[in-house]
Amino acid sequence: MQDLALALYQYFIYPILTLILFALFAYVIMSWLFTFNILSPYGQIARQIYSMLESVLEPLLRPIRNTIPPLGQLDLSVFILALLILFTRDWLFPQLLFAMPG
């Protein structure tokens, strides 16, 4: 049973959490590029990519935003989500896997 759980973690859960983390970084970078007018928010391809990232990440960010409101212009929900993903991926799941009986 531990071998199955380890395989699921290594080949399914870990890559998905890593992909979500990279999507989160792309979402933040694109929002900065839009904010500083480096990337035009009216460009069709950029808007489609940003909308796709937003549709994937907003359901994860919304509960955090409801719990911890933005501090002025600073939105901590992205930072907290990144920390939660890293904590879950790198500490919680390995601890649970190695705590499983043989």
CA atoms in the 13 A half-sphere facing the CB of 61: 20
Find out whether 78 and 27 touch, Cβ atoms under 8 Å: yes
Sign of the four-CA dihedral 58, 60, 61, 62: positive
Task: For 24-44, write each residue's pLDDT tens digit.
Answer: 999 999 999 999 999 998 999
Distance CA 32, CA 27 (A): 9
pLDDT > 90? residue 1: no
Task: For 57-101, write each residue's pLDDT tens digit.
Answer: 999 999 999 999 888 888 899 999 999 999 999 999 999 998 988
pTM of the model: 0.90
pLDDT tier for residue 13 given thresholds of 50, 70 and 90:
very high
